[in-house]
Amino acid sequence: MAGTQEAMGLSIVQPLTVLSEEEKLFAASVREFAEAEIKPYVREMDEKQKIRPEIIQKCFELGLMGIEPGEEYGGSGGSFFMACLAIEELARVDPSISVCVDVNNTLVNNALLNYGTESQKKNYIPRLCKDTVGAYCLSEAGSGSDAFALQTRAEDKGDRYMLNGRKLWITNGNEAGIFLVFANVDLSKGYKGITAFIVEKEFPGFSVGKKEDKLGIRASSTCELLFDNCEVPKENVLGEVGKGYKIAIETLNEGRIGIGAQMLGLARGAFECTLAYTKERKQYGQAISEFQGVQFQLTEMATQIEAARLMVYNAARLKDAGQPFIKQAAMAKLYASIVAEKVSSEAVNLYGGYGYVKDYPVEKYFRDCKIGQIYEGTSNIQRQTIAKLLLAE
């Protein structure tokens, strides 16, 4: 059978929902950490709109900020799939912590691993694994879905580049010390002028601006970044000059799986709270979980979560196996974000009046879920990607 599958060109990857013992232990350890050290502070962080610094530090100590980089770079040497497991388990408790870890791993670390020089890897990846948060800086006021319409400029000054412009909606903006910034060296060339730069928080001319007051994932900082003659050494160009668009596309293709994992974890968290609640909440002399209508609602929620899990895990396994995964990544993000919204909305319904107040967790899951259909490519961008690949087959 294996030979037949290989002959047919089918992917030979581990069964989707079967985890190795190492993966099981890893997921369990992240779950334990999230329950013990994040869960008690979720509401406080949401209200204060700030992640507790000691939680970020603990994420570094546990190796969660550098899951894929090898030991030579100070990382854990794990797989992309394991990074997705961590993102999922963290999002089950707090999607804000999850996205902080997600961006560090699937966007910043991976971009450096895939495109960095050996000098850049040795200089920056150990810091990103040990004590410095990373941020991925692509979006601007006029370039959201149309990412290549960015206007931040990079002028060649001989031994350095001078960056001028503004970035918006940058995750980890307040916490980060290392920023992967996309700017255009020649606006007349359009996307072929886009170049990636590694910018440190201390570089002259760089500053963090307004922090957005958001609907959901409020503890996660989403900030404006300002570049006013920001000086970046030439050795901090990531990849080739004018090839930043390739880095942006390929990194986001991987990052979409991470957002799918975040939305999967969020849906799990909302569902697990709701399932327990329906067993406790009594109406008409019995637990509401005994009513067939409620059972049907729970069944739909569980089935949708399982479908999302299969899609996210499949995309991550394909990526690790070196198989084509772009279509599956877009599908996973698209569907998991839809499921997160449906499940968290149904959770509020099943909690009734309690679901509408902040004393119970499902209200926050409902607010947090919406971003999944917006960042790292809106749902319509995912549909466009899927359609383009389908029509090319």
N- to C-terminal Cα separation, the chain? 25
Rounded Cα gap, residues 387 and 391, in angstroms: 6
Q: Cα–Cα distance between 238 and 107 in angstroms, integer? A: 13
**Shared domain check, 208 and 106:** no
Closest CA to 129 of 193, 64, 72, 205: 64
Q: Is residue 346 among the annotated active site residues?
A: no
Same domain, 142 and 110: no
For 162-180, what is each residue's pLDDT tens digit?
A: 999 999 999 999 999 999 9
Query: Comparing C-alpha atoms, which of 104, 97, 102 is closest to residue 46?
Result: 97
Q: Report the distance separating Cα 214 and Cα 217, nearest Å.
A: 7
Q: Do 341 and 251 have their domain in common?
A: yes
Ranges of the chain with pLDDT below 70: 1-17
Residues 255, 388 within the same domain? yes
Residue 250: how many CB atoms within 10 A of its CB? 15
8-state DSSP, 197: E
Query: In angstroms, rounded to a whole number, what is the distance separating the alpha carbons of residues 180 and 311?
Result: 29
Which CATH number fits the domain that encloses residue 48?
1.10.540.10
Burial 298-310 (b: 16+ CB within 10 A, else e): beebeebbeebbe
One domain for residues 104 and 177 = no
Task: Give the C-alpha separation, 201 to 220, whole Å.
Answer: 18
Q: Which of 68, 140, 175, 376 is catalytic?
A: 376
Last residue of a domain, one of 208, 242, 276: 242
**What's the half-sphere exposure (Cβ side, CA atoms, 13 Å) at 156?**
8
Phi, psi of 57 (to 5 degrees): -60, -40
Distances, alpha carbon 311 to alpha carbons 99, 139, 140, 185, in Å: 19, 27, 30, 38
284 alpha carbon, distance to own chain's centre: 43
Question: Could you read off the pLDDT of 259-273 as tens digits, one per residue?
Answer: 999 999 999 999 999
Both 141 and 254 in one domain: the answer is no
Confidence (pLDDT) at 148 = 85
Q: Work out how many domains the chain is built from and give that number.
A: 3
Note whether 33 and 72 are same-domain residues.
yes
**How high is the pLDDT of residue 171?**
98
**What interhelical angle do 80-93 and 292-320 show, nearest 10?**
150
pLDDT given for residue 12 in this prediction: 42
Residue given tokens 């919406």 in the structure block = 370
Q: Which tokens belong to 307? A: 């479908």
385 and 267 belong to one structural domain: yes
Determine the Cα angle at 353 with ends 348 and 356, to 5°. 50
Ramachandran sector of residue 241 (left: φ over 0; alpha: ψ -120 to 50; beta: rest): beta
Residue numbers of the domain that contains 40: 2-133
| pLDDT for residue 1 | 36
User: In this structure, are 9 and 105 located in the same domain?
Assistant: yes
- Give the H or E element holding residue 136: strand 133-137
The confidence score (pLDDT) of residue 16 equals 60
Among residues 196, 222, 242, which one ends one of the domains?
242
Q: Is 287 exposed, middle or buried (0-12, 13-18, 19+ CB in 10 A)?
A: middle
Statement to judge: residues 20 and 105 lie in one domain? yes
The residue out of 110, 133, 156 marking a domain boundary is: 133
Q: For residue 145, give the CATH number of its domain.
A: 2.40.110.10
Are β-strands 133-137 and 237-238 bridged in parallel, bridged antiparallel, or unpaired?
unpaired
Q: What is the CATH number of the domain that holds 255?
A: 1.20.140.10
- pTM here? 0.95
